[in-house]
Structure 1
Amino acid sequence: MFGRVYVERPFAGLACAWQRTTAGHETGRVVPDGCTDVMWSTSGELFVAGPDTRAHLTTSSGPGTLFGVRFGPGTGPAVFGVPGHVLRDERVPLAELWGPTARLEDELGAADDPCAVLGAAALGRLRARPPDPVAAAIAAAVPTTGVAGLAADLGLSVRQLHRRSLAAFGYGPKVLHRVLRFHRAVGLARAGVPFAEVAHRTGYADQAHLSREVRDLAGVPLGQLIRP
């Protein structure tokens, strides 16, 4: 029997920890959320998923479990030591960013809770390389402020804002707010909020606007995307 089980749990200092178990050959769809993940699979792969601008299809060839920890928007690139745009839409072996990872891989293979091992390693890096202090303000800004207004509020030029946003998030501020709005909308839809209300609560012009954005960013209609 084939089946997929995905579970998230809180992890102090990070967005969450998660694991996904598959029982056979399956394809999944990962959609943009502004986040960055570091993952380890029971087949031995240890890699980073950068911030996405489009849906990323994943394929499992057989039974196995993928463990991951997720960094909120603007946090992950600091952990990996590269600007966010370098990781955008990429899946990169962790060793290319951190150097040799044999010891970490050994710890993961022996661990009862691989997510705890991943999280501890990530938090150690995060303490050594904290994220840009303006990242939280960029992410929290109201999109209607506009790029020029946001730059002025932060005491930056428009060019400086764009450069720091690319480094922290992998996106410029306009794309960042588009992705974050989409992510909020999908979360509300999955919670059972009617689509028209989702559009209103997340700032889309109407339900048709929401539908177009979901198709563009996820590659499928909203109803199909949230289907269990």
Structure 2
Amino acid sequence: MWEDAGKAPKRIVPDGCVDLVESGDEVFVAGPDTTAWTWETPPGVRVRGVRFAPGRAGGVLGLGADELRDQRVFLGDLWGREGGLLAERVLCGAASLADIVAERRSGRADREVSELIARLDGGATRVSAALERFTTGERQLRRRFTLAVGYGPATYLRVTRFQRAIGLAGTAPDLASLAASAGYADQAHLSRDCREFAGVQAREFFRAKKCAMSTVDSYSAR
């Protein structure tokens, strides 16, 4: 669960997650992204959301995450009349987003997909290495992965590596060191992914990240 009451525009970069969001008079699903988008909370509006870990949204939403890739879909458009009624309940305070998740949750996560996600998150350098020693055939496992996560293992590997770089941004003295620590071949490799996923140059993006982290650390120390 998360909340946001900030007014400054935020650059949202891909992280492999799906979100169920309540914002103002809207309830919508934000699918897994492959590029950045800008979010600005309207004045006086508090935004709430439920974030599904990679591969875990399908059991609630009832469809493959690949159908939601790079999309924002209103609940009424997603679930028809039932979705419209659920959205009304949330907006009038009769139900919460967590209630919707609890009501609609069904089935279990795909064990092999979860294992493949864990391997990629754990620092696998190549998808082929992460796919070793599964009992399921590679083609079928890739298809199930795309259905659950929203894009294939190769794209997810790039996304999770970029997120790793973001997490390490406050500890690396320069971009070359950051690239090496996050598992990139070199600084140019990190720069290419940053342009694609964040839409800006790596130097600009990670400088802003460092400043944001410094501000939080300074505030926490008071």
Q: State whether TM-score is above 0.5.
A: yes
Would the alpha carbon gap of residues 224 and 125 (structure 1) be closer, same or farther in structure 2, given more than 3 Å must change?
farther
If each structure's strand is expressed as a fraction of its own residues, which one has the higher value? 1
**Identity of matched residues, %:** 39
2:18 is aligned to 36
Q: Which one has a larger percent helix, Structure 1 or Structure 2?
A: 2
Change (3 A) 1:33 1:109: same
Separation in 1, partners of 2:112, 2:3:
31
Mapped to 1, the partners of 2:197 and 2:30 lie a distance apart of: 17
1:208 Cα deviation after fit? 2.7
**Does the C-alpha gap of structure 1 residues 118 and 96 become closer, same or farther in structure 2, counting only changes over 3 Å?**
same
Equivalent pair of 2:41/2:47 in contact (CA under 8 Å)? no
**CA 1:108 to 1:131, structure 2 compared with 1: closer, same or farther past 3 Å?**
farther
Query: Does structure 1 residue 125 correspond to structure 2 residue 109?
Result: no
The residue aligned with 1:141 is 119
Aligned equivalents of 2:162, 2:146: Cα separation in 1: 19
Determine which of 92, 114, 121 is the counterpart of 1:109.
Answer: 92
Matched, 1:83 2:64: yes
Structure-2-length-normalised TM-score:
0.80
TM-superposed CA distance for 1:197, in Å, is 3.1
Give the RMSD, CA atoms, in angstroms.
Answer: 2.3
Cα distance change of structure 1 residues 103 and 74 upon mapping to structure 2, 3 Å threshold: closer
| Distance (Å, rounded) in 1 between the aligned partners of 2:202 and 2:99 | 35
Q: Which whole-Å CA distance do the structure 2 matches of 1:103 and 1:37 have between them?
A: 16
The superposition leaves residues 59-107 of structure 1 with CA deviations (integer Å, 9 ceiling, x where unpaired) of 4554312111101111113321111110100101122333424245334
Letter paired with 1:211: S
Would you say 1:46 and 2:27 are equivalent positions? Answer: yes
Deviations 1:139-160, CA, capped at 9 Å, x for gaps: 122533533x444421222211
Number of residues of Structure 1 aligned to a counterpart in Structure 2:
202
Q: Does the CA-based 8 Å contact 1:81-1:97 persist in structure 2?
A: no
CA-to-aligned-CA distance 1:17-44 (integer Å, 9 cap, x gap): 2112244xx5432110000000001x21
Q: Which amino acid aligns with 2:109?
A: P
Whether the 8 Å CA contact 2:26–2:87 is kept in 1: the answer is: no
Contact residue 90 and residue 97 of structure 2 kept, 8 A? no
CA distance in 2: counterparts of 1:222 and 1:119, whole angstroms: 36
Q: Which residue of 1 aligns with 2:160?
A: 180
**Match of residue 96, structure 1, among 74, 77, 82:** 77
Structure 2 residue runs without a partner (length 5+): 213-222
Q: Is this contact kept in 2: 1:86–1:170, CA < 8 A?
A: yes
